[in-house]
Amino acid sequence: MDRAGRGAVLAMALGVGGLWMGCGQRDEGSRGGGVIPTADDRERRSALLRDLVASRERAPDPDALQGPDQQGVGHGGSGRPAPTGSFQGHVAWVGDNELLIRDTQGTERDVGVVPATRLLLNGHPVGLAAMKEGDPVDVTYDDGPGGWVAREVTASAAPGQLIPTEREVREQRARERTSRDVAPSR
């Protein structure tokens, strides 16, 4: 027997010996020939048994604790199950963690936005604040406990609606300066 096995047997023997000593009969408090253990005795035995059982338990398999999203169960090898549904429409309102979208039939649909929601504007990842009223969107969603939860929202804004980035503004100004410098003077 290896060292770990001997240690386990010794621990078990000590536990059984402790239980036997704790359950020994006493003269005081006997009724009808039997001994009624005190509440403290019962608590000590329960704690000892709980510790013995806990020392023999094995930790659960980490893969068994993961949900289906983390285990790679899904459709098409993506690791996620297929979305519940999808629809197209226009943004009617943007909230702190939700979008109100008017679909092509005119029905307004409230869709929750969570940290896992992928938000795209003209193919680029953006935050919820980048979504503007009137933007056409394609939405894929999952059923959540409080309603629909967006998995991906893809918006497309017309070039005139886009706000230029700081870099784009600097590049435009540089182009304007160079065109003024190159222009012939009269």
Q: What is the CATH number of domain 85-161?
A: 2.40.50.320
Do residues 99 and 91 touch, judged by C-beta distance below 8 A? yes
Quick one: average pLDDT of 130-146?
Answer: 89
List, for residues 14-54, the tens digit of each pLDDT value.
877 777 666 665 555 445 556 787 888 888 888 877 777 76
**Predicted pLDDT at 72:** 44
Lowest mean pLDDT among 14-28, 83-97, 123-137, 167-181: 14-28
Residue 156 DSSP symbol? -
Q: Which residues on adjacent β-strands are paired with residue 87?
A: 139
Give the model confidence (pLDDT) of 81-98 as tens digits: 888 899 999 999 998 899
Token representation of residue 141:
């969603």
Domain boundaries, the chain: 1-21+36-55, 85-161
